[in-house]
A = this chain, B = another copy of it.
Amino acid sequence: MEEEQDPQLPSFDFKPFMVHKVNAVNQALDSAVPLRDPVKIHEAMRYSLLAGGKRVRPILCLAACDLVGGKESMVMPAACALEMIHTMSLVHDDLPCMDNDDLRRGKPTNHKIYGEDIAVLAGDALLAFSFEHIAVSTVGVTPDRIVRAIGELAKSIGAEGLAAGQVVDISSEGLTNVGLDHLEFIHVHKTAPLLEAAAILGAILGGGRDEDVEKLRKFARNIGLLFQVVDDILDVTKSSKELGKTAGKDLVADKVTYPKLMGINKSKEFVEKLKSDALELLQGFDPEKSAPLIALANYIAYRQN
């Protein structure tokens, strides 16, 4: 019966849901990383962590946990850990030896304020603390599920995940014969891993069955690629002011992107295809509990920054 129902419930009001969740996540992040000694590194960590990101990863994690019947307290430390790791990757990405970015989330980048050395260390500390936070602060979950969640999260960051995408991205700059497969590899590895980790950590820590974990994994892979294609489109269609970060970077860096390979219109069609594929994977779940995930996929597809 559930499968026959339209998953696009018109009754779900996304904006207040997001505002509520963003506030909860921001509060949890603020308490997780207090300003203590040594002050300088904690200040640098907090500067980028609390700079007002969209909190897509933590909210995806919370929604996945709810979908499988888990409680928010089981998964909030993991949700915060995901944002810490995301922040680390931005801080390191913005370094002069990487993308050399001066502006992020509408503010000067971490190394612009604290210096490159502190930015490197603040990123390392955020990465390490994300694992500490899950290991120490997760409550109401059996240790075997915590170990499994840590294994999945760590895998999503390393040389088979985030870092792999970044390395291949760097190696591809200025290449002219890059195909769609290659581009998809970069994109799937640069954005999807953490979104995938977010969804499956929610399901694992929330007590989900293995088959639900795998459905959420596929859902997240789809919206991960979706997220990146939209990012590529925004980079060429919006100004720096609208984005809150430097626009047109991909063109300047001579990076291969979807708009460059298939044009803006085909890229937008691809966004629609990825979105509907993702939503199909949510059929069979309780429609009330899948509504936030559907809304999140729509939000990622149609966001303006």
Cβ A121 vs Cβ B41 within 8 A: no
Contact A128-B158, Cβ < 8 Å, known A120-B92, A142-B143: yes
Q: How far is the CA of A24 from the CA of B14 in the complex (A)?
A: 55
CA distance A118 to B168 in the complex (A): 10
The segment from A148-156, A264-272, A288-296 found at the interface with B is: A148-156
In the complex, are the beta carbons of A132 and B158 less than 8 A apart?
A: yes
A144 to B235, CA, bound (A): 45
Q: Is A16 an interface residue, CB under 8 A from the partner?
A: no
Stretch at the interface among A60-68, A159-167, A211-219, A247-255: A159-167
Contact flag A121-B167 (CB < 8 Å), given A38-B159, A147-B135: yes
**Using Cβ atoms and an 8 Å threshold, which residues of chain B touch A147?**
135, 143, 146-147, 150
Within 8 Å of chain B (Cβ to Cβ): is A175? Answer: no
A97 interfacial by beta-carbon distance below 8 Å: yes
- Say yes or no for A123: interface residue by CB 8 A criterion: yes
Write the nearest CB–CB distance from A273 to chain B, whole angstroms. Answer: 27
A:84-111 near B, CB below 8 Å: 88-89, 92, 95-98
CB neighbours of A117 from chain B (8 A): 97-98, 170
Closest to A119 in B: B97
The complex places the Cα of A144 from the Cα of B159 at a distance, in Å, of: 27
**Alpha-carbon separation in the docked complex, A120 to B90 (Å):** 12
A157 within 8 A of B: yes
Listed by A's residue number, 24 A-B pairs whose Cβ atoms lie within 8 Å are A38-B168, A45-B159, A92-B121, A97-B117, A97-B120, A98-B117, A98-B120, A118-B170, A121-B163, A121-B166, A124-B127, A125-B158, A128-B158, A129-B159, A131-B150, A131-B153, A132-B150, A132-B151, A135-B147, A143-B144, A143-B147, A147-B147, A147-B150, A150-B150
